[in-house]
Amino acid sequence: MTTMQAWLKQAADEERDRVAKAAGTSVGYLYQIAGGHRKASPELCKKLQDATDGVLTVSMIRPDLYLLIVGADPKSAA
């Protein structure tokens, strides 16, 4: 289970709705991202990070983007 899947599972319906709305997407799309069926854009990753106050981060949602942005291994940045 990915971190995003875990967050979706534990978050209340209202929280999932709030985060999706703040990020300009739908809860269904968040589930598609978490399941690996879709990839979040860099902009959406940032919006999700902001909407969750850093509970979900760019490096959690798209580790490949994190490597491109900072040029470092996300595991070593922790």
Smallest Cα–Cα separation from 47: which of 15, 27, 25, 32? 25
Is the Cα dihedral 51, 54, 55, 58 positive or negative? positive
CATH code for the domain of 35: 1.10.260
27 part of a folded domain: yes
Say if residues 44 and 51 touch (Cβ distance below 8 Å): no
CB atoms within 10 A of CB 55: 15
* Number of domains into which the chain is organized: 1
Longest Cα–Cα distance of the chain, Å, equals: 36
Q: Confirm whether 76 is domain-assigned.
A: no
Q: What is the pLDDT along the chain (78 residues), one digit of tens a residue?
A: 678 999 999 999 999 999 999 999 999 999 999 999 999 999 999 999 999 999 999 889 998 876 666 665 555 555
**What pTM does this model have?**
0.82
Range of the domain at 59: 3-70
On whether residue 50 sits in a domain, the answer given is: yes
